[in-house]
């Protein structure tokens, strides 16, 4: 018996040793990029999610860039990943979408956004959904939507000016969520008996957190928020199906029209996952960008003065280049999306390294946007650096809205909302920061203490011009 026990123990030790060797030395039909796979099972997940207050390249990426170079390997949430801070590789990945690479996110992200979310779909199905979204948020539709955006901004800014203080992140999120939810599902928060947005807030708090699904963790709260929001959306869709409208007024109407077609490839599950992603993406990312934009305006009076003078003389929000320059610079420094994921469909050789088939690839927008060889003084807020630069999609050095065939379909909608908001803001209002405004990244952008300000309508308190340097 002791001999048998020794044999079992020896076999276990050999098996574990072999597994550990394979963990630290993954198989590859070529030369893997340098790097570390981290702890067994955990990889380098804890380091990746560690909060930091840096405005530069995330410490996780920066340390490894300095040690290994612009392309390196790691392991996140149990999956081997190649991290790319190389603009050429990023561009190559975007151009080879559907051929050598496909959209992919770690299992934990799939749990959060749904197994049939638009980021996990490929080929014809993805193009089909993209065209559905463009029918609502494409350039032609946005022209018709502009008065609604202007009215929403006008009403909210006026309301804020009647309050003692305003917490900007929450206030801008509420404004954009209500506008988007109205266009998507005709949701009216004043008439609804349930708070749809509250479920998204709970979802967002744990979106980029360590994936531990037990009560009390941010990740668990995130999953619960999604579950409740999906339940509400499904109930709304079923109610709309029972009371279908003849005219197409919102996205639910488009969905029901597609679902009723004979031989349709759209399913209710895919439609609900799409609705969830659209609601999340439209308000969370834009509200973060607007909050950061106001912080930049507060910290840079010359920029505010330039925007104000330009807006008073040239009120058309689409032709005023300074606003577009300001938006580009804001999203460049915001780096709201810390990583864009793809998966290699076959072994790929690039600059002497091999990316093995099946491995994930994470492109790092911050490392591109903060590259000192491409942007002089990259941490400096300088909208004038965009003078004469026209960007209609992703480039090697600018990927704030993704790139390739998956370039964000909501980009124009986001820019319109920001441009309308900025125009109304700088021509009619002044504000005074009260508290907060500190930033952390975990690794996504957050305002842990919010950003609280006091608003003034310009005609009611012109003396504030002195306070902001005009």
Angle CA 114–232–186, to nearest 5: 105
Three-state secondary structure string covering 125-177: HHHHHHHHHHHHHCHHHHHHHHHHHHHHHHHHHHHHHCCCCEEHHHHHHHHHH
CA distance 232 to 394: 35
CB 314 within 8 Å of CB 320: yes
Q: Tell me phi and psi for residue 260, to 5 degrees.
A: -85, -10
CA distance 385 to 389: 8
Residue 408 among known ligand-binding residues: yes
SS3 340: strand
CA distance 395 to 332: 12
- Crossing angle between the packed helical segments 411-428 and 301-313, to the nearest 10 degrees: 90
Burial of 372 (0-12, 13-18, 19+ CB in 10 A): exposed
Q: What is the DSSP letter of 469?
A: T
The residue count for the chain: 470
- Binding site for heme: residue ranges? 408
- Binding site: residue ranges? 408
């Amino acid at each position: 018996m002791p001999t048998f026990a020794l044999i079992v123990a020896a076999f276990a030790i050999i098996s574990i040793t072999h597994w550990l060797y394979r963990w630290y030395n993954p198989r590859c039909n070529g030369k893997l990029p340098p790097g570390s796979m981290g702890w067994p099972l955990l990889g380098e997940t804890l380091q990746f999610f560690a909060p930091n207050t840096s405005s530069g390249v995330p410490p996780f990426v920066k340390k490894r860039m300095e040690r290994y170079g612009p392309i390196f390997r790691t392991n996140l949430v149990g999956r081997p990943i190649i991290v790319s801070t190389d603009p050429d590789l990023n561009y190559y990945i975007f151009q080879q979408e559907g051929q050598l690479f496909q959209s992919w996110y770690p299992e934990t992200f799939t749990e959060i956004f749904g197994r049939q979310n638009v980021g996990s779909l490929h080929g014809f199905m993805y193009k089909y959904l993209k065209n559905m979204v463009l029918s609502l948020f494409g350039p032609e539709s946005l022209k018709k939507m502009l008065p609604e955006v202007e009215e929403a901004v006008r009403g909210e800014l006026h309301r804020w000016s009647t309050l003692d203080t305003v917490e900007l992140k929450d206030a801008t999120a509420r404004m954009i969520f209500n506008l988007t939810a109205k266009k998507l599902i005709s949701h009216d928060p004043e008439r609804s008996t349930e708070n749809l947005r509250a479920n998204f807030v709970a979802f967002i708090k744990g979106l980029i957190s360590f994936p531990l699904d037990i009560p009390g963790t941010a990740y668990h709260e995130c999953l619960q928020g999604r579950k409740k929001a999906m339940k509400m959306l499904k109930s709304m869709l079923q109610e709309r199906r029972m009371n279908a409208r003849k005219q197409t007024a919102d996205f639910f109407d488009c969905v029901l029209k597609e679902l009723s077609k004979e031989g349709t490839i759209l399913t209710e599950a895919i439609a609900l996952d799409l609705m969830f992603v659209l609601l999340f993406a439209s308000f969370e990312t834009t509200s973060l960008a607007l909050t950061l934009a106001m912080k930049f305006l507060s910290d840079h009076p010359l920029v505010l003065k330039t925007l104000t003078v330009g807006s008073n003389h040239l009120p058309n929000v689409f032709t005023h280049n300074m606003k577009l320059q300001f938006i580009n610079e804001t999203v460049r420094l915001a780096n709201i999306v810390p990583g864009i994921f793809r998966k290699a469909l076959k072994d790929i050789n690039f600059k002497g390294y091999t990316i093995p088939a099946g491995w994930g690839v994470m492109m790092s927008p911050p490392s591109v946007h903060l590259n000192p060889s491409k942007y002089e003084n990259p941490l400096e807020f300088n909208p004038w650096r965009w003078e004469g630069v026209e960007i209609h999609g992703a480039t090697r050095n600018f990927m704030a809205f993704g790139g390739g065939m998956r370039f964000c379909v909501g980009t124009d909608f986001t820019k319109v909302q920001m441009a309308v908001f900025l125009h109304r803001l700088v021509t009619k209002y002044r504000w005074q920061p009260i508290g907060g405004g500190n930033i952390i990244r975990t690794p996504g952008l957050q305002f842990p203490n919010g950003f609280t300000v006091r608003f003034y309508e310009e005609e009611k308190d012109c003396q504030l011009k002195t306070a902001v340097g005009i």
